[in-house]
Amino acid sequence: MPKRTAIYPGSFDPLTNGHTAIIQRGLKVFDRLVVAVANNPEKKPLFSAAERKVMIAEAIGDDPRVEVDSFDSLLVDYVRRRGIHTVLRGLRAVSDFEYEFQIANMNRHLLPDLETVFVMTGEDYFFVSARLVREVATFGGDVSAFVPANVLAALKAKLASRPVG
Ligand code: ADP
């Protein structure tokens, strides 16, 4: 049987337990996943794409079903280049729906072969976002329940090395 592969794209700035839950659920549906870090310097990310890739690879550990990559083009161009026409996305609360609906339809308009598959998060993580994690951590809040241990360490190191103000 051919292997089913999907691309799971996102900013992952940084990876959260919400993301890892989507990866684990995705692996119940797909044989392989390519976790693809969107490298968009205009978003002024806290972590570089290279740092985000390392954090994801560390958090996932040695799993031959998961590849970690990055891309700095339109998602549809990356999808075309990789020849993998299925995209995995996570859905949290209602607030995600409109945005995800827009991009899924725009992507399908740009590349009619592309199919987006959504996995809904469990109640444990439906309120967790990378943006919230960044904000809470920046002001010294405890985010240990929401990110893998290596990401927590990387957040502490990154924020300690940043100039204050
Ligand atoms: P965010 O900054 O909101 O975490 P990303 O671009 O890193 O966003 O997210 C990539 C994908 O993962 C998106 O489809 C997003 O909806 C999904 N996602 C992020 N956090 C969660 C979560 N806690 N539960 C389910 N899906 C999530």
Count helices and strands (H / E) in the chain. 6, 5
pLDDT band at 94 (very low <50, low <70, confident <90, very high): confident
Does the C-beta of 47 come closer than 6 Å to ligand 1?
Answer: no
pLDDT tens per residue across span 21-52: 999 999 999 999 999 999 988 889 999 999 99
**Ligand 1 in reach of 87 Cβ (< 6 A):** no
Residue 53: partners with Cβ closer than 8 Å, 6 or more residues away: 37, 68, 69, 70
As a whole number of Å, the CA-based R_g of the chain is 16
Q: Is any atom of ligand 1 closer than 6 Å to the C-beta of 17?
A: no
Backbone angles phi, psi at 151, to 5 degrees: -70, -40
Sorting pLDDT into bands at 50, 70 and 90, what band is 96?
confident
Q: Are strands 66-71 and 86-91 parallel, antiparallel or unpaired?
A: unpaired
Distance 83 CA to ligand 1 centre (A): 23
